[in-house]
Amino acid sequence: MITAQGITKRFGDITAVNNISFSIREGEITGLLGPNGAGKTTTLRMLTCYLKPDSGTISIGTFSVEDNPVEVRKTIGYLPESAPVYGDMLVYDYLAYIAEVRGIDAPGRIAEIGGLCGINDVMHMMIGELSKGYRQRVGLAQSMIHDPDILILDEPTSGLDPNQIIEIRNLIREIGKRKTIILSTHILPEVEAACDRVIIIDRGTIVADDRTENLQAVSGGEKRVLVSVSGTDYPALAGALATISGVTRVEEVAGTGLVSARVTAGGTAEIRPDIFKMAGANGWILYEMTQEQRSLERVFGELTGGGLR
């Protein structure tokens, strides 16, 4: 759906994006993360034809950003960090204007997109009189009015209060059932809640690209699994766990009401099937087997040297 190969963008002596490559499949909600100045917005502007890469290629579906910019713009809906809305226009008039620019039959589509974005009740209001949450909804509506296959959203919840953030997040998840979405944000719980996959950029280069749960599961090349059983004691459980291939450490976990251990294994080892077989072979009842996850905030800090600069 989206393929970037070796794209680089410089501004004078500053390299904002440095030879990065990635592909995004149809139907994915991908979080693009990075500290301030990492190159996120520059990357999005290249994907949406607002900036031309100094080197490298970008294709959206079957179209090249360089050779077919008009077709690419038809395929993409883009919401910049500051929603491109006119405060002195009525919501309906603004969307009708965008629809006319896009060559769309306005009345039916405006009603449809207004219902999806939850703005039909404010169609008669001036955009400048709306709360920031509603202005973001109007911005989303303009980015989607031509029914694009791909949505690119740059900090869509920036400056919103907690309730507004939840509203926009839920809206993005609903839209993501039918669209491919790239979501650039520095609000990490937002990514955990909404995104299937995460690309982390630091100083213009990609430092991580994986499914969200995989990034959270691996820590320093290790995975940890919490195991709770009944029908045995801890020494017997620990001894059996230690014999499983890939296990590097077994630690007792107290206070669970069961016999419990935290099992550490190498990052590429998948030990859960062997734990399940081990419990059955010994006649123990397996009550819990959970792969522990780090917060995305911790992952982000480890990969970018401390956090959001």
pLDDT per residue as tens, the chain (309 positions): 899 999 999 999 999 999 999 999 988 999 998 888 889 999 999 999 999 999 999 999 889 999 999 999 999 999 988 777 899 999 999 999 999 988 887 778 899 899 888 899 999 999 999 988 889 889 989 998 998 999 999 888 777 778 877 877 888 888 888 889 999 887 777 787 788 899 999 999 999 898 877 776 655 567 889 999 999 999 999 999 999 999 999 999 998 889 999 999 876 678 999 999 999 999 999 999 998 766 677 777 777 775 444
* Confidence (pLDDT) at 306: 58
Q: pLDDT tens, 247-297? A: 999 999 998 889 999 999 876 678 999 999 999 999 999 999 998 766 677
* Confidence (pLDDT) at 162: 82
Encode 28-56: b = buried (16+ Cβ within 10 Å), e = exposed.
bbbbbbbbeebbbbbbbbbbbbebebeeb
Q: Which two tokens stand for residue 255?
A: 């206070």
Residue 4 CA to residue 206 CA, distance in Å, equals 12
DSSP 5-26: EEEEEEETTEEEEEEEEEEE-T
Q: What are phi and psi of 90, to 5 degrees?
A: -65, 150
* Confidence (pLDDT) at 309: 42
Q: Which of 53, 1, 59 is nearest to 30 (CA)?
A: 1
**Would you call 308 helix, strand, or coil by DSSP?**
coil
* Confidence (pLDDT) at 308: 45
Domains of the chain, each with CATH number or no CATH: 2-216 (3.40.50.300), 221-292 (3.30.70.100)
Q: pLDDT tens, 224-247? A: 899 999 999 999 999 999 999 999
DSSP bridge partners of 59: 3, 64
Residue 114 CA to residue 92 CA, distance in Å, equals 9
* Confidence (pLDDT) at 218: 58
Q: Is the pTM of this model over 0.85?
A: no
Virtual torsion, Cα 164, 168, 173, 178, nearest 10 deg: 160
Residue 26 CA to residue 58 CA, distance in Å, equals 16
**Could you tell me if 49 and 214 are in contact, meaning their C-beta atoms sit under 8 angstroms apart?**
no
What single DSSP character describes residue 52?
-
